Amino acid sequence: MFVVDEAHLVSEWGEEFRPEYLRLGDAIAELGRPAVLALTATASPPVQADITRRLKMRSPDVVVADFDRPNIALAMRQTQPGEREAQAVDDRCVEVLIEQETPALIYALTHARCESLADRLRLDAFRAAPYHGGMTAGARARVQDEFSAGQLDVVVATSAFGMGIDKPDIRTVVHAGVPASIDDYYQEIGRAGRDGKPAAAVLVHDPRTIRIPRLLAARTRLGEATLHRVVDAIENAGGHIAIAQLVASADVPAHAADRVVNELAELGFLSLTGSGQHRAAEPGRELPPPAELTGQLVDLNKRRQAVLAGRLAAAREYAESTRCRRAELLAYFGENYVPPCGNCDNDRFSAATAGSRPSVGGGVPVRHRLWGRGGC
């Protein structure tokens, strides 16, 4: 049996497309087409279809488990107008954590936001720590261990945190800004309430933060001049070329050369061999003229940017929706759900008040980090 875990990586419609996974279909064929099992926790219908096509699966049985996590309450909290963006988001996140239970995860959009929000939470007496790719491996491991051991109330992280984490008693997941996609959002809120007890997923929304995932998506776009240089270097090599050699010949960053080679492999013009530092490429069929080849790469990049923009738009629509959030979320993954769920903010409040949440009234229990529970 040939097993592909995290199979959404095979699909360009998936959250973290990996072009090198395109080689899996050929690998399956070379092994004599054994039975194939593709596993993923987050695959919308377009991703499911793309996985089937790219792995060359023939009439597969598609088994989709129930996406609903009814114990997780879903909500959006809008920031207050008139405040600076970062302060407005941080203020709302702190308010949410004072109202909700810990342990908690907060997903921030940048390394700097992780650091500043963790600092702010410590001022409010939370045992909080940041977690992001800019930290050393040792520092990240220490935060992960302390959180798992119950020595931290809150971890403020980028989306890098959580893979492989199975802490069943996470009570609250907060997103400090709209994430890049609903795929991201669903996977991250799924880390709450794995013990089956009530949990909460709160999206803190400030329209100004949309620029951050939009900017990060734009950074994945390769300029036409870079594409030209890499294509010319491949043409001049006339055959087998190591990726390290291609980087030097084209005078481009390694990640750019790697991206172009992967995309040419997707288009069927190159075959990839080796791995790591020994990775290399060789023409799989006759290459068209450089200008034509570059044009195809430009078109592919435009399509990818459109995919990223569409996913971000869907995430923003979810944040700003006044309909049942559970029905909206499950519809994205192709699952029919008849609202109301009774466990989201839009079902608890009428559509007329969904955009501006009522303030806390008398008799509502509240909790302070230092003074404990009480009533107002």
CA distance 55 to 237: 31
Residue 266 placed within a domain = yes
What pLDDT is attached to residue 235?
Answer: 84
Band (359; pLDDT cuts 50, 70, 90) = very low
- Beta sheet of 199-205, edge-to-edge order: 72-78, 199-205, 172-176, 104-107, 154-157, 128-131
In a domain, 229, yes or no: yes
- Residue 38 belongs to what domain range? 2-54
In a domain? residue 364? yes
Tell whether the torsion through CA atoms of 100, 101, 107 and 110 is positive or negative.
positive
What is the tally of structural domains in the chain? Answer: 3
Rounded CA separation 296/293 (Å): 5
**What pLDDT score does 361 carry?**
34
Q: Which of 264, 287, 310 is the last residue in one of the domains?
A: 287
> Measured between alpha carbons, how far is 184 from 175 in angstroms, rounded to an integer?
11
Does one domain contain both 155 and 197?
A: yes
Assign residue 282 the CATH number of its domain. 1.10.10.10
Q: Write down the H helix ranges in 58-84.
A: none
Q: For the purposes of burial, counting CB atoms within 10 Å of the CB of 85, is it exposed (0-12), middle (13-18) or buried (19 or more)? A: middle
**Bigger pLDDT: 21 vs 51:** 51
Cα(250)–Cα(333) distance, integer angstroms: 42
Q: Which one of 268, 287, 306 terminates a domain?
A: 287
Confidence (pTM): 0.79
Residue 294, domain member (yes or no)? no
Burial of 136-167, coded b for 16+ CB within 10 Å and e otherwise, reads: eeeebeebbeebeeeebbbbbbbbebbeeeeb
Contact 364, 375 (CB under 8 A): yes
Is residue 152 domain-resident? yes
Question: Are residues 89 and 181 both part of a single domain?
Answer: yes
Do 276 and 337 reside in the same domain of the chain?
no
Residue 44 and residue 191 share a domain: no
Q: What's residue 127's pLDDT?
A: 97
The type of residue at 365 is P
Among 47-61, 208-222, 299-313, 347-361, which stretch is predicted with the lowest mean pLDDT?
347-361
- Tell me, yes or no, whether 309 lies in a domain: no
- Convert the pLDDT of each residue in 147-161 to its tens digit: 999 999 999 999 867
Q: What is the pLDDT of residues 268-293, one digit of tens each?
A: 788 777 766 556 777 777 778 888 88
What 3-state DSSP class applies to 241? Answer: strand
Is it the case that residue 350 has pLDDT exceeding 60? no
> Percentage of the chain with pLDDT > 90?
42
Q: Looking at the structure, tell me whether residues 234 and 275 fall in a common domain.
A: yes
Is there a single domain that holds both residue 240 and residue 272?
Answer: yes
User: How are the residues of the chain apportioned to helix, strand and coil, as percentages rounded to the nearest 5?
Assistant: 45, 15, 40
The yes-or-no verdict on residue 95 having pLDDT over 90 is yes
Cα radius of gyration (the chain): 23
Q: Do 191 and 325 belong together in one domain?
A: yes
State whether 160 and 128 are in the same domain: yes
